């Protein structure tokens, strides 16, 4: 397998790990980027961007990263907090009055962002195409009773948190999350990141090779059903092009791998045009840790970020934060060592978080520091 890109000689072991993933048949196309103190020391890619293996996975390839999108959205919410337009401790209903229905008046922004609101999805049957109607989904969420007492536990809001956070963002900022990402990040900072992909960019997107098995969620419960285990738990009934065009700030980000790592590096390296270091610390500090009611893991949640403890899927630093995405993608920021990285790929695996491919690369990179 021939890889392209750059790899500082100090990190030769990482290149070897990456090559082995391809030769062992674990990858179709993939990219791994690792940034230390603002310097890109690893940016490697290889393989194919299509299932027929006729199109190279190259420097310009965009990859769907599913729930890694939540790290982008959490950061845009944090920008409103930094600007004094939001507070993590304020009730969501202060900016979204309809949200106060069904006993939700006291739910705070930080509880919502850390998956404590009790709204992981809908148990009642609905047309999965309804997810493409932003106002309809937000109205359903505003009227929905929590599935557990808010603030007592986390239960991963796999898709719904994007609508919850996105509606708060829209009501405060006036723009959608996708529009703000375009103006404040892609255009202002030159980072090739998208939530809502226009048609002219669709040709750059890598085709996904789906996993051959389903993730293991353990005992089936109502929160797990609502989040993942119904035919309407995620958007459906529309074309793949419609999915790419939509703005779903929890699930349908499309990124160039290096620019995802650069985004996280702006969070890892101190004050930046993206956020002040003090805001990053506040956004990423722990809001709750415990057995998640949806994901089969003990998880520590920040205000929209997945924290590294207690699983250490993103290297050895306890305070590292970021997010994983369905199928294996991940992005992380380590403020203690000023390190950041991203792994994107188009051959999906069954691991909900902590894909072994990314873990091997991240562990090898840290071992070279």
Is the residue at 51 inside a domain? yes
In a domain, 311, yes or no: yes
Q: How many domains does the chain have?
A: 1
Task: Assign 212 a pLDDT band (cuts: 50, 70, 90).
Answer: confident
What tens digit of pLDDT does each residue of 232-284 get?
999 999 999 999 999 999 999 999 999 999 999 999 999 999 999 999 999 99
- Token pair 């978080």 in the structure block, residue: 353
- The answer to the question of residue 344 being in a domain is yes
Average pLDDT over residues 137-154: 98
For 97, residues 6+ apart whose C-beta sits below 8 A from its C-beta are: none
Any domain includes 1? no
State yes or no: pLDDT of 128 exceeds 80. Answer: yes
Strand-by-strand arrangement of the 253-255 sheet? 63-64, 253-255, 193-195
| Residue 191 banded pLDDT, cuts 50, 70, 90 | very high
Rounded to an integer, what distance in angstroms lies between the CA atom of residue 91 and that of residue 142?
A: 13
Res. 205: pLDDT tops 90: yes
Let me know: does 223 contact 146? Beta carbons within 8 Å: no
Residue 213: the pLDDT is 86
Print the domain residue range for 201. Answer: 47-76+176-355
> What is the chain's Cα-based Rg?
19
Cα distances from 329 to residues 37, 103, 359, in angstroms, run 22, 36, 11
Considering the domain boundaries, does residue 108 fall inside one? no
**Which residues lie closer than 8 Å to 314 by C-beta, 6 or more apart?**
308, 320, 321, 322, 330, 332, 334, 341, 362
pLDDT for 1 beyond 80: no
Domain annotation covers residue 268: yes
- Average pLDDT value over all residues in the chain: 98
Sort residue 216 into left (φ over 0), alpha (ψ -120 to 50) or beta: beta
Please report whether residue 52 resides in a domain.
yes
- How confident is the model at residue 229, as a pLDDT? 97
Mean pLDDT to the nearest integer, 223-233: 98
Rounded-to-integer distance, Cα 164 and Cα 227, Å: 14
The fraction of the chain above a pLDDT of 70, given in percent, is: 100
Cis peptide preceding 310, ω within 30 of 0: yes
Residues 301 and 285: their CA atoms lie apart, in Å, by: 8
Residue 24: burial class (beta carbons within 10 Å; 0-12, 13-18, 19+): exposed
Q: Is residue 116 part of a domain?
A: no
**320-355, pLDDT tens digit by residue?**
999 999 999 999 999 999 999 999 999 999 998 999
183: CATH? 3.40.710.10
CB 367 within 8 A of CB 9: no
């Amino acid at each position: 397998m021939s890889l392209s890109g750059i790899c500082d000689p100090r990190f030769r072991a990482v290149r070897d790990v990456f090559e082995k993933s391809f030769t062992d048949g674990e990858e179709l196309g993939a990219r791994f980027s690792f940034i230390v103190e603002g310097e890109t020391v690893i940016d490697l890619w290889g393989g194919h961007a299509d299932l027929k293996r006729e199109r190279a996975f190259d420097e310009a390839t965009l990859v769907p990263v599913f729930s890694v999108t939540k790290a982008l959205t959490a950061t845009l919410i944090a920008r409103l907090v930094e600007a004094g337009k939001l507070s993590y401790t304020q009730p969501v209903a202060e900016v979204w009055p309809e949200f106060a229905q069904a006993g939700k008046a006291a739910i705070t922004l930080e509880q919502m962002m850390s998956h404590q609101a009790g709204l992981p999805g809908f148990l009642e049957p609905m047309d999965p195409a309804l997810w493409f109607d932003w106002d309809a989904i937000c109205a359903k969420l505003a009227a929905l009773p929590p599935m557990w007492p808010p603030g007592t536990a986390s239960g991963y809001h796999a898709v719904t948190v994007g609508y919850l956070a996105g509606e708060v963002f829209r009501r405060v900022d006036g723009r959608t999350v996708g529009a703000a990402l375009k103006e404040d990040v892609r255009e202002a900072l030159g980072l090739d990141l998208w939530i809502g992909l226009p048609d002219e960019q669709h040709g750059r997107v890598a085709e996904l090779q789906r996993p051959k098995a389903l993730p293991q969620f353990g005992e089936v419960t109502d929160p797990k059903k609502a989040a993942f285990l119904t035919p309407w738990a995620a958007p459906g009934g529309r074309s793949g092009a419609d999915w790419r065009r939509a703005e779903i700030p929890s699930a349908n980000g499309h990124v160039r791998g290096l620019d995802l790592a650069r985004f996280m590096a702006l969070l890892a390296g101190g004050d930046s045009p993206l956020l002040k270091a003090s805001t990053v610390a506040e956004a990423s500090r722990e809001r709750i840790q415990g057995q998640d009611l949806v994901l089969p893991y003990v998880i520590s949640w920040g205000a929209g970020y997945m924290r590294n403890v207690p699983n250490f899927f993103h290297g050895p630093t306890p305070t590292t934060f970021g997010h994983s995405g369905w199928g294996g993608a991940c992005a992380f920021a380590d403020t203690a060592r000023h390190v950041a990285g991203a792994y994107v790929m188009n051959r999906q695996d069954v691991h909900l978080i902590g894909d072994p491919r990314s873990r091997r690369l991240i562990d090898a990179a840290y071992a070279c520091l």
